[in-house]
Structure 1
């Protein structure tokens, strides 16, 4: 066990003693610093010490040449100070190795989400497309709030909508909330929590006019998707959400009570949608398929459509309504009801809003109806109040 001063000159020429597989050279100034030389010609710096339990440990500093000898000596001094204060470098290293990467946590997160989340496909997409490419290989203990904040800002700078960036933030944060609940090694807090949510204004006013609805009706009637005319028609006549209609079943349609029962809505609660006579007449024309429970299935698979994006895009293009989203049909249904004089509370009940605040986005339409009412009232009075003043 040769003892020497491990300086640059000695380490440069140090060799394994002939006839041995390796030779350890211990530093005379820093207790525990060792240069291991091997018969193969390789050399490595280690720091050896006794841990708090009395067990001799070895901590690798680096392969010779990766750091200057001066930096190796400074690292050895730091390790010596850490041990003097009760630290254990090997334990810390083992703890780091035991800390999973985000990809491990993501797999557990998605497996958990799949057991209960109706929007699982959306969550999986955000994790796969946005979060994993940046954080998948990073250990959970190395993911810090500042880095996440910078990354989210970059996402928005790439052109993603603020609402999309917010969904990514929420999904990422959910991963860490689960990690804390499950006591995942390396996670002591949620680094996403505390990052400010940017102001989001996704309000978009797009309501069909009567003329536009008629053009759309002609376009969907000519669609290659023979179910599209029924889907679009019922969306406008009921104000239902697309997912609710695509998963609707015949057993839940009660023509006698003029009601459609939705077992599970977006709010998580069941609800009834009133069916107008026009809606019932349309439902009467929907073809039924043998041993198929669904109201509007894909005729080929007899299962609910995954989406109707392709046929919808063709139809709106044919109707010259390129800016119309499928969800705008729900808004338009509300618009037609309100312009017919129906109050906001009733419209909210039809749409299945969980709270009145959701319905208030249509309040300006109600104001138009109220304005028409006061104008009609003024006309009936036939009094020139300004002239009589």
Structure 2
């Protein structure tokens, strides 16, 4: 399904809109939140509305767009966020509601900070999950216990709870900046926004061999998906970065992306990854490395093939994104600097890299031994050889311990 830019559907001749060649597409109304016109290849033009019920987003059909006027369709929708008062130094009153401040926060972010896709996701989280529960409440009156209760209930009903909490937290910081709350009073502070589990931290060599064998076994039936999965494994790139990759972005052993989740970045291609692209380039006739059914658009998914491959490899809980975790973990445990690993992954800060770099026990043990040895070396006599020339004996360390214990007893007896 393709999504187009929001437009004012009241000024459009709906009957003249072109239909998709196959399937359906949605045209979203810019004036009513959640309202969209669904165009199908069969010829139907239908109003649908997205609404939140029990914490889940549901799609409801309103009727035929040729017989139901757009104004009538808009009446079924959730009232839009109030328009922010731009260029006004006294932007909000002391009794400003969450709905009022949220509108200003989203407008501020879209203009100065976020990518368009991020703005759409946060607007959806606000409209579907924050405003129905907290929209009428005064920003200054929101308490931590109130937020905790709201978030706990939301977590039980939708996977969007983390994004909703992050959106609310950002709005509260925005409210602090505008004097609506005391500094440091963010009621979302400290609540878990991102799970840092061990899932997909470091795949074992046996798992990797089974996975690669499964990819090879499905390559003839699922050529494009298997190439996508190979590139994800070899580059640590995000799925969207590989699926939307264009040929004119591939040059000199790298893919230079104008836009990604973290903005412009470079995906570095090792020799096997470059060989995959070289093979595909000789067979390609479109601008996309992985074209979809329509050559003018990229492939949208490899999920079906991935389920088959994952099952054959014996990894029922393995996710495509775990290949990125594995890439980062291998980089860290092999001794690469976190900044280098972060650059390979397209991260802007080390904290983001640490989420992916789960070090296995053996690597932690080796690191602990190394640190202990360095400390032991530092306790050696000034004239003793350095750790790079001679490893101190166990006996010398034991002598130092006995000497320390003896001096400690002497002090105690005194």
Match of residue 255, structure 2, among 252, 260, 273: 260
Query: How do residues 26-37 of structure 1 correspond to structure 2 at under 5 angstroms?
Result: none
**Counterpart in the other structure of 2:146:** 150
Query: Does residue 323 of structure 1 match 2:354?
Result: no
Q: In structure 2, what is the Cα distance between the partners aligned to 1:286 and 1:241?
A: 19
Aligned mate of 1:189, from 175, 180, 191: 180
SS of structure 1 residue aligned to 2:256: strand
Q: 1:109 touches 1:178 (CA, 8 Å); kept in 2?
A: no
- Mapped pair 1:245 → 2:245: no
- CA distance in 1: counterparts of 2:117 and 2:214, whole angstroms: 31
Identify which of 275, 292, 296 aligns with 2:269: 275
On the 8 A contact 2:329/2:358 being kept in 1, the answer is: no
**Residue 216 in 1 paired to residue 211 in 2?**
yes
TM-score w.r.t. length of structure 1: 0.54
Once the two structures are superposed, what CA deviation does each residue of 1:265-303 show, in whole Å capped at 9, x if it has no partner?
4333x332321111111112336543x322223244642
Task: In structure 1, list runs of 5 or more residues that go unmatched.
Answer: 1-98, 182-186
Does structure 1 retain, via aligned residues, the 8 Å contact 2:249–2:256? Answer: yes
**Helix, strand or coil: the match of 2:116?**
coil
Which structure has the larger Rg? 1
CA drift at 1:253: 0.7
Query: Does the C-alpha gap of structure 1 residues 106 and 310 become closer, same or farther in structure 2, counting only changes over 3 Å?
Result: farther
**Residue aligning to 2:288:** 294
**In the alignment, is the contact (CA less than 8 A) between 1:106 and 1:127 conserved in 2?**
no
Q: How does 1:36-51 map to 2 (within 5 A)?
A: none
Paired residues of 2:98 and 2:131 also in contact (CA < 8 A): no
- How far apart, CA to CA, are the structure 1 residues paired with 2:214 and 2:393? 51
User: May I ask how many residue pairs the two structures share in their alignment?
Assistant: 276
TM-score (norm 2): 0.51
CA deviations over 1:47-71 (Å, ceiling 9, x no partner) = xxxxxxxxxxxxxxxxxxxxxxxxx
**Residues 298 and 104 of structure 1: CA distance in aligned 2, closer, same or farther (over 3 Å):** farther
Does the aligned pair in 2 maintain the 1:220–1:315 contact within 8 Å?
Answer: yes
Contact 1:253 1:261 (8 Å CA) reproduced = yes
Kindly tell me: are residues 175 and 368 of structure 1, through their superposed partners in 2, closer, same or farther at Cα, counting changes over 3 Å? closer
Please state how far the C-alpha of 1:251 moved relative to its aligned partner. 0.7
Mapping of residues 96-135 of structure 1, within 5 Å: 102=99, 109=106, 113=110, 116-135=115-134
Matches within 5 A, 1:45-60: none
C-alpha separation in 1, matches of 2:362 and 2:179: 52
Asked if structure 2 preserves the Cα contact closer than 8 Å seen for 1:246 and 1:296, the reply is yes
Q: Where do 5+ consecutive residues of structure 2 fail to align?
A: 1-95, 374-388, 399-414
The 5 A counterparts of 1:169-180 are: 169-172=165-168
CA distance in 2, matches of 1:304, 1:342: 33
Secondary structure at 1:261's aligned position in 2?
Answer: strand
C-alpha displacement of 1:339: 4.9
- What residue number does 1:204 align with? 197
What is the Cα-based RMSD across aligned positions, in Å?
A: 4.9
